[in-house]
Structure formats: C-alpha cells, structure tokens
Structure 1
Amino acid sequence: MPPALTVTDALEDEELGTLGVRKTGVRANWRILAITMYVGLSLFEYGFDKGAIAGFQAMPGFLMEFGYKTPSGKWAIERTPQQIISSFMILGAFLGSLLTGPIGSRLCRRYSLMLSSIIVIISIAIMTVTTSFGALYFSRFLCGVANGLLLNFSMVYLQESAPPHMRGLCFAMVTSWITIGTTIGFIINRETSTIMNRSAYQIPLYVCYPAPAILFLTLYWLPESPRWLINHGREEEALKSLRFLRKGAYDEVALQQEFEEMRVIAAREAETQHDWRLIFELFKGTNLRRTIICVGVGTANAGVGAMFILAFGTYFFQVAEINDPFTWTIISNCIGLAGLMLTWVFITRVGRRPLILAGCIICTLCMLLMGILYSVPGISHHGSGIGLIVVVSVYLFGFNFGLEPYVYLVAGEMPAQNLRAYTMGLAAAVSFAFAWLCSFTTPYYINPTELNWGPKYGFLWFGAGLVVTLFVYIMLPEVRGRTLEEIDEMFRNKVPTKDFKTYVCMEVEHARERGAANAAAFNKLGGDEKPGETYVEDNHAVHVKA
C-alpha cells in the first residue's frame, strides 16, 4: 500500500500559484446574496417598527385608546407616553445590543437569531391585545431587546460569512429590509389611519408576524458562520460551511487560502478567555483604536439626527401643518429607498469611507437648511411646507445612500474575530443610547405644548453633524476588498489610517501560500479538478480571466 501523500509531496510534484480563483460576479456569488436577502428578513420588523409605530402617534384610532381629545375636537397624545412609546423600544435595543457578545459567545448565530425571533413574536402579541399603558411600555421594551439582538446577529453573521469583495453589497442589500419595512409600515398606516377604532393600529401590527415566524421555522437549515465554528474548535464543520458558501465562486486554492487565514486568527485568539471578561479586551492595546472607530462611526446615524426624522416624521409633518402627512412621509421614504438601491452600484467601486462621508455631509446640510426655512422672515407658510418636504426627502436619500447600511458594516469589519460580537454590540448599544436620548428629548423641542421649536430643531443637529463628519474624516480607514484577517493584521501592526489602502499584509500572504499547498494536497488526494482559470489582483480589485 503506497504511503499517504503529504502537503510537502504535493509541493514537490507541482509548482503552485499563491493565488486562487475568486469570481466576483453576481451569478457566481448567488448563494451568499440569496442568504443575505433571507437573513435580511430579521431587519424587516425593525424597519416596520420605525414606520408604523411612529405613525400611530398621528392615528385617531390609536389616540382614542392611548391619547386624549383636545377642546377643539382633535385627538392628541401627551408628552410622557409619546416619549416612552418611542424611547422604550430604543432602550430595549440598547440592552439587546449589549447582550450580543455574551449570548454570541455561547449560542451560534443561527440559534441567536431564532431566540430573537421568538421574543419579537411575544412582544407584538402583547402590543396587539393590550389596552394598558404598562403592558404597552413593556412590549415596546421587549420588542427593542429583540430588535437589538436581530440587528446585531444578522450583521455579524454576514460579516463572518460574506467574501471580502461582496461584504459592502451584502450590507447594502440586507439593510434595504429596514427601509422596505419602514415604507410598508407607512403605507399600511395610511390605509388604516381613517379607521376609528383599535383595528387602525392592530392591522399594521399583524403584518409584523410573518417575518420572525418564517425565520424561526427555517433558520435551523442555514449554514452556520464558518468563523464562529472555527473559533469554537469545529474546524471540519467550518470548512464544510465555507465550501457551501463559496461554491461556484472560489476554486479549491482560494477556499483553502481563506480557511487558512481564519485558522491563523483563531489560533492566535485561542488563549483569550471566552467568558464575560472578554469585554474588557475592547479597551486594551490596539483593540482600543478599533473600538473607538466602531463606536464613533456606529453613532453617526444618531449623530446626524436620524431619529428626529425617522421616529417623528409623520407627527412632525402634522405639526408643521402639511396636508396629508402620511402620504408625504411615504413619498419621502421612497426617495430614501431609491438612495439605498443606488448605493448598491457604488459600494463595490468606491468603498465605505467616501460614501459614509457623503451621507454625513448631505444629512448635516439638510438639518441646516431645515432650520433656515423656518427662521428667515418672508418665506410663506406654504413655501416653508414645500421646502420642508424637499429637505426631508433629500435627507433620507443621503442617509440611506451613505449611512444606514455602512455604519453597521464598519462596526463589524474593524474588530478582532473573538471580539466582533462584543464590539458590534457595544457600538450598536451606544448608538441606541444616543437615539434614545434623541427620542426622549425631541418632544420637548417640537411639541406645541413645550418649546415648540418645530423645524428650527434642525440647527441643533447641524452642529452635531459637523462633529460626526470630522470624526469620520480623521479616523475611518478604507478597507474595500480586504479580508477580515487582513484588517486584523493592519490594526495589530498599527498601520496609519491613510495607508490602509496600500498596505501589504505579509502574515496573510504566508497563510495564502499554506492554503495553496493544502489545496494541492487535496487535489492529489482525489479532490475535484478545478477549471483552468488564472487569478489577477490589482490594488485589491479582483478580475478573473478564462
């Protein structure tokens, strides 16, 4: 019986290229894109919540149960329940985000998403049947916890599963579910807003059930994150999962190279504790820089005043005396959705940094214009209303084009592998904390019974937007086309922000050489022959030639 063939024998028998075949086309990567859209269902309820629940505050059927009737005969809502309804969901999302790390260290990504889906279903059921303020507030908090977990675990799963050249597109696609959910929420609200009983808000809530139910019943068959598996010592399962995810896009050489890169990082992190104390690693050594970037960029959404527009949009239009606020909210949100769809074309060509900067600048300028519209004398009330609609529409376009998808992308790309769930959870938690602060304090500024600033509130967010834009410009590196392992190596080597695009990662190069050797041994031992293609990589843009 002949001796077993070793990797060394394979190296002696044939000359190996150090780069495998990585196809970057949509057709070759259809698996990960299909999984992206499926996992994105977990964000539908979060988006729907922002659209539907915000609209409840301008809906007579809801206000008849949880509001009061003014002397003029109109239905309104007091400041305290207005604050709690919006802010308790965000407070719950804050807690859910903080729990992402501890839960993710023990439960795999699939089971974590399944658990979160069950919590969503319970919270919606309570919200649908209750007439009690206490139960309503509890359901909002519980819904927030679930949304925090769903948001973070879906993003972490895609970070760990998508190939480097597809991560940006995957995040643009998955976050589209948030905007789609918000838009559907607005549309359904508009159709039910004239119903003068509890069905006006119960019908929109019923629409929330299918997405979490589908996920709970089907997530078991989703391939697990290969990086989570390899970090938990399940290398055979990790390779099997990676092989499924890359089938049709990577040849065996490229597959083994990526797997070897993952093994190098997992081996380095193996001695690090895996209990709750791991969170303290976020603030040590080179991890501190990563944490600052993730948290800083993660709060960009809140920093440019997104919750001001998203949580109070319909109510805000109503207070500004714009005719048919529900319809204009839908139109402006559809313009935002168009911005999100447009970004699919740019993300793989331009990168993260330019798009996030563009989003920050657009949103910041829109807040300035909003304040000016209602401060300059001589502008008619009708003209101010039209201007407000235009400004909000442009704001939502810029927000969805450059911020909504990519702050989550950055928060998941930058951390070390064993800290990814912790870091992303912390970044999301801080973002939700600022969003909660915005939701809780906004009624003081815009409610006619309080300060009654109305659109002049935009001046405050103009100042905050300038700070966010400056932070992104100074701190955020460009990592387009880089593997998570390359990003890890650059942070460990303290590469300056401006040099990330051109830095050569030697540790990753050595791992790819070992991966190529492993692939040769695999082929010699009976692996399938791969198509004869050559791989060319120029400045991290991948091209495949037949």
Structure 2
Amino acid sequence: MVPSFYALPMFQRKYGIQLPNGDWTIEAKWQTAFLVGTPIGRITGALGVGMLSDRFGRKMVTIAALVLMSGVTFIVFFATGKEMLCAGWIISGVIWGVFNTMAPTYASEMCPIKLRAFLSAAINLSWVIGQLVSTGVVTGTSTREDIWAYRIPLAVQWAFPAILVPALLFAPESPWWLLQKGRIEDARKTLTRLVDPKKVDVDLYLDYIVQTDREEVVSGSFKDCFKGSDLRRTEIGAMAFSIQVLCGANIINFFAYFFQLTGVPQDMIFKLTVGLSGLAFVSTALSSIPIARYGRRAIFLTGLTVMATVLFIMGILGCIDTKGSSWGTAILLYIWTGTYDMTVGPVAFVIVSETSSMRLRSKTVAISAITVSVFALVFNIAVPYMLNEAEADIKGKVGFVFGPLCIISLIWTYFRLPELKGLSYMEIDRLFESGIKARDFKEARSKDTYIEEY
C-alpha cells in the first residue's frame, strides 16, 4: 500500500516537494526511507519469532503480533510528519516479519500432504487480498482533496486484527509443537479436531510425528540450520523466497507510481492498479491447478522463463518514448503479474514450508524471511532512485535490471531446487540426508518410508 501513496496527489502535497514544472513528488530519499523500514523491521521480527514461537507456540505469537499491529496503526494514522510516519512503518515491519515466518510454519504443520501445498500457497493469496483491498480503498479515496485521501486506507488496517484475533482464539495449536513440548494429550486432542478419527488412526499418526522428530537429531538452534543436510535445506528455503524479489516483485509495489511515470493518464492509473490486483487474486486462486498437477520445479522454471522474457521486452519498450510503448508496458505488467501469482509467488511458500526439517522449521523459515528481506532492502533503496523523475528516471528500462536476475534465478532453480511434491516429511528428511542431486529427488522417492498423512 505504501508505494501507492506516492501517486496520490494529497500524499504528495503533504509529504513531498514541488518540481520546477509544477508537479509534486515524494523525494527519492523519503520514498526509500518509507520502504526500507519494512525489510529492516521484518529482519528484526524474523530473528526473534523463531525463538518466541518455539517457546510460546505458533498460535499465541501470531495473536500477540496482531494485537500489536492494531496499536502500531495508531502511529501511522496520526503521524504528523515524515519522521513519525517512517518510524511507524519500521515498527510495522517488525510485526510483518512475524507473520511472514509464522504463516508457512503453521500451515506446514497443520495440514496433510494432499493439502499442504494448497494451504501454503494460500499464504500468497492472503497478501494479494490485502493488496486488492488496499488498492481498492486507495482508488476510492484518490479523488479526495483532504488528508482522508490517505488516512482512510491506513484506517482499514484496523479491520484485519478485529476479524483475525477472534478467529485465531478458536484455532488449534500445532500438534508438532505440542509434541515437542511433551504435551501428548493436547496434541491428540488437536489431531482429533483436524481429522475424522473413524478414518484416521490418531495414535499411529502421533507415533509418526514422534518418529520423524527423533530422526532429526539436531538441537534446534539457529547455527544448526547451517550444518550438514540442513545447510542445503536452508539454502533452498532462502533462495525460494529471495527469487520472489529477484524476479521483479518490487515492481509490484510501485505499480501506481510506475504507471504515472510511463505516461498513463492520471484518471486510469488507479483503475489499472485495481485491475492488476484483481488479476493477482484470480491468478493466485488458479495456481491450485498447476500446483495439483505439476511439480514445484516445473512451475518455478516455467514461471521464471516467462517473466524473464516479459522483463526484457519491457526494457526494450522503455527505450521507446511513445504513447504506444506506455500502454505496451502496462500490458506486459499484466502478463508478468498473472505469471508471478500463478507460479513463483505462491509456490515459493510451498517450497519453504516443505523444505525445512520439523525441529528447525520456524528457524529455517525465519532465516529465509531474513534473506528475502535483505534483498528487499537493497531494492527498496535502489528502485525509488531508478524510477524517480528527479533521479535516474529509467521507467520501463528497469526490465533490464530484473531480467538478468531472473535468468540467474532460473539457472539456480534448474540445478539446486529438488522436487518434493507428494513426499512425507520423513521421506524428505531421508532424501536430504542421502545427499542426492536435486534433479534426482523425484526418481529417488523411497516407497517403503511413505506414510499416508491424514
């Protein structure tokens, strides 16, 4: 939502400067300051959430973060200056770091193999829904000529905790975490709520969780994520998340501002942005089809190939300063968005959820979140200077920046990303411990260790 404000006239006048031609803009240094707070905060949040969730549980940490989010919203809503606004978004970033780590951890521990990928992919859908709601609200208030043009979108943030906190109070705690804490009866009660005891042997599944946990002999500290086979698993999780940024996801944050810079008429900017958010929602919802039919590797490779092509074409159009090239760039952004949200966007969450070992899950996810936040920090600093009309002003040529990074990501995926579709956590543990090549995972699936998870 934050970058959308950069194209909002009232926000520009409140926090920006006037250019020689009479237009208003947010200075590149403040565009950067408003955005770097998010990854810095997410890094801080991710560092602490792994230890907190292992001590207090996935459910309670998430509820606490939502309550804190409600309080922090007061800071950004009533901000009287750029410094206060920036501070509020930094604190918000800490809480977003909690969500970014807890969501894939909780999803991977609560559902069976057959639903694991869909629930993990739905995490991306939740982000997209947030973007759609915020973009719709910003579009609706963009014509206002008072401070409520940007205050109303900020106020909408209070609605989500008000809905989610009561819902989470009735949600079960992770049975994996309960067993690790020795709370066997509580874990049995949770599983009884999640499955039909007439169809699933709860005690057998509890034994499976215990056996999987015993086979992971590490102590569960952050340093263990960089030892033995867990180093490889940490690499895969960190890269899967980071590729979301490397393939150009930062452009998503600047859609409205990007359209403005490329010459799209002002009255069409937010309409196009809402359309993009709607496309992202539909694409993420439809991603369940390829996730069900194809492997993670195939989806990643296909998505990165299409996005790399789109980014290079966008860079070429950026060299042509015509009205047609501006609309051509807009069309390419639609193609990129549809591809991203059907492939790399949701599947990255699936990969991170599946790759980490059970005992190190929250910490591996935290490290992955920290890694992608570092990349996001770099691009949140660089992209405003790339796009700002008072700085580099490269417009569509930004495709030449992300296109090569997309190719590098494609090469990594081919050589390093294993196929984990349909594997139990015990099978995944043993395959990583065997040290086989990523491309051989699918063929090396161990039939005798497979267990049909509920």
1:84-483 to structure 2, matched below 5 A, reads 84-247=33-196, 251-253=199-201, 255-269=202-216, 272-274=218-220, 278-307=221-250, 309-323=251-265, 324-375=268-319, 381-483=322-424
TM-score, normalised by the number of residues in structure 2? 0.95
8 Å contact kept, 2:386–2:398? yes
Structure 2 residue matching 1:196: 3-state secondary structure:
coil
Report which stretch shifted further, 333-342 or 151-160: 333-342
Measured after TM superposition, the shift of residue 380 of structure 1 is 6.1
Give the Cα–Cα distance (whole angstroms) in 1 for the partners of residues 448 and 49 of structure 2. Answer: 30
* RMSD after superposition: 2.0
The question of whether the paired residues in 1 share the 8 Å contact of 2:420 and 2:441 is answered with yes
Amino acid at match of 2:396: P
**Structure 2 portions without partners, runs of 5+:** none
Q: Contact 2:129 / 2:281 at 8 angstroms: preserved in 1? A: yes
- Matches of 2:61 and 2:426 in 1, distance apart? 24
Q: Give the conservation status (yes or no) of the 8 Å contact 2:19–2:25.
A: yes
Cα distance between partner residues in 1 of 2:184 and 2:434: 27
Contact 1:489 1:507 in 2 (8 A): no
The runs of at least 4 aligned residues of structure 1 exceeding 4 Å deviation read: none
**Structure 2: how far apart are the matches of 1:348 and 1:501?**
16
Distance 1:69 1:77 in 2: 9
Provide Cα deviations, 1:226-278, integer angstroms capped at 9, x if missing partner. Answer: 11111121122112212211227x7234x444322211122344x6445xxx1
Q: What is the aligned residue count?
A: 452
Offset from partner CA, 1:99-143 (integer Å, 9 cap, x none): 221112211011010111022112211100111222211110111
Q: What does residue 433 of structure 2 align with?
A: 492
**Corresponding residue for residue 23 of structure 1:** none
Q: Which amino acid aligns with 1:318?
A: Q
Summarize deviations over 1:390-424 as a string: whole Å, max 9, x none. 11000101110101111122112111111111111
- Determine the C-alpha separation between the residues in 1 that align with 2:401 and 2:218: 43
One-letter identity of the residue aligned with 1:315? Y
Give distance in 2, aligned partners of 1:172 and 1:101: 21
Deviation at residue 78 of structure 1 after TM alignment: 1.0
Contact 1:93/1:144 (<8 A) preserved: yes
| Displacement of 1:504 | 4.4
| Percent identity (aligned) | 27
- Residue from 501, 509, 523 that aligns with 2:442: 501
What is the alpha-carbon distance in structure 2 between the residues aligned to residue 110 and residue 246 of structure 1? Answer: 19
Structure 1 CA distance, aligned partners of 2:249 and 2:200?
45
1:86–1:311 Cα contact (<8 Å) kept: no
Change (3 A) 1:290 1:208: same
The TM-score normalised by the length of structure 1 is 0.79
Query: Which 5+ residue runs of structure 1 have no aligned equivalent?
Result: 1-51, 513-536
Cα distance in structure 2, aligned partners of 1:296 and 1:211: 30
